[in-house]
Amino acid sequence: SNGEEALQFVSVAEYDVIILDVMMPKMDGFTFLKLLRNKGSQVSILMLTARDAVEDRIAGLDFGADDYLVKPFEFGELMARIRAMLRRANRQV
């Protein structure tokens, strides 16, 4: 529901994929992403957001997102991107 709570959730449980919006209350998705990567987390992260500027997409990927998808989106494409991230993560084990 907000960025601060999300950080608490990832500190107590393991996730295969995190779907992250840039526009979250209390802590934006870019800040959350940077903090998570600075803690050494390698979890696959897909940014799913209405922020469609090229600069935002570059920032998300440079801060450590594995993929960036802009709203509105097709559900089938979202699922295909998640499957691709999971395949890549499984190859790295």
pLDDT digits (tens, 9 = 90+) for 29-86: 999 999 999 999 999 999 999 999 999 999 999 999 999 999 999 999 999 999 999 9
> How many distinct structural domains can be found in the chain?
1
Q: Residue 89: its pLDDT value, please?
A: 87
Please, what's the b/e burial string for 77-92 (b: 16 or more CB within 10 A of its CB; e: otherwise)?
A: eeeebbeebeeeeeee
Domain harbouring 50, CATH code: 3.40.50.2300
Q: 36: alpha, beta or left, given left = phi > 0 and alpha = psi -120 to 50? A: alpha
Task: Note the pLDDT of residue 93.
Answer: 45
pLDDT value for 92: 59
Domain that holds residue 24: 3-91
Report the sign of the C-alpha dihedral through residues 16, 14, 40, 56, in that order.
Answer: positive
Each residue's pLDDT tens digit, 20-40 = 999 999 999 999 999 999 999
